[in-house]
Homo-oligomer: A and B are copies of this chain.
Amino acid sequence: MNDEKPPSTRERILAAAADMLAEDGLTARLSVRAVAARAGVSIGSLRHHFPTQQDLRDELTRRIFDWIAPTDPIDDRSLPARDRLAGCLGQVLAAVGAGPQAREALAVAVRTFVTAEQTEQVRASYRAVERDTQHRLEGWLRTLAEEGALSVDDVPRSARLLSTVVNGLAYQRAMPADDTLTERERETLYTAVDAVLRPHPPHRT
């Protein structure tokens, strides 16, 4: 059966932008004119579907994040430790969301813990959140420590670094960064993960 539908203009625009991103990587310049030309669509038409250039980028990043990582891979021993740990951290970040959702998340956090009156109640709530995060991270790290990927003694300190990195990434996601910082985010995540795990677990290259 033929369920091929002619791609809508909106989809063609998104596909064109995705192609450009895939080709040029981080340096891709997704200008109105370039994307419109690539999609074979007028500037006005692009603007009709995406009122601002940022709307285009937001939708694009939303799809990219949807496309990756639905499962928790810490127990998937078929993968290298670093990939499993990075996957877990990626899921934590997935909960933060991207674009407007990430901004909302940070705004809520700041409203709740920073600009709110600093009562003991507030402080306790934050400590609880912090502790949960720390426990979660330490759990993952202990799993990997049992496999020798790192020393158990390093678990708390490493968990703290990773939690700081995740906080930093969540912060950066909330900031009006450029289009898709996914690639750089991945890179930062892996740099942090490799800093925590034993140097060079796999011997192959």
Chain A interface size, under 10 / 10 to 19 / 20 to 34 / 35 or more:
35 or more
**Known contacts A123-B54, A200-B199: A191-B158 contact under CB 8 Å:** yes
Q: Which A residues from 107 to 124 make CB contacts under 8 A with B?
A: 107, 109-110, 113-115, 118, 122-123
Chain B residues contacting A168 (CB-CB under 8 Å) are: 163-169, 171
The residues in A between 135 and 182 inclusive whose CB is less than 8 angstroms from any CB of B are 157-158, 160-161, 163-172, 174-178
The reply to whether A113 and B157 form a contact with Cβ atoms under 8 Å apart is no
Are B127 and A176 within 8 A (Cβ)? yes
* CB-based contact B166/A188 at 8 Å: no
Contact pick for A103, options B114, B127, B167, CB 8 Å: B114
Residue numbers in B under 8 Å from A174 (CB-CB): 110, 114
Task: Tell me whether A114 and B123 are in contact (CB under 8 A).
Answer: no
Q: How would you classify the secondary structure of chain A's contact residues: helix, strand, loop or mixed? A: helix
Does A130 have its Cβ within 8 Å of any Cβ on chain B? yes
Query: With A107-B115, A199-B200 given, is the CB distance from A127 to B178 under 8 Å?
Result: yes
Query: Is the C-beta of A5 less than 8 angstroms from some C-beta in chain B?
Result: no
State whether B118 touches A114 (Cβ < 8 A). no
In the bound assembly, the distance between CA atoms of A187 and B188 in angstroms comes to: 19
Q: Is the CB of B110 within 8 A of A176?
A: no
Mark A residues whose CB is within 8 Å of B: 54, 103, 106-107, 109-110, 113-115, 118, 122-123, 126-127, 130, 157-158, 160-161, 163-172, 174-178, 184, 187-188, 191-192, 194-196, 199-200, 203, 205
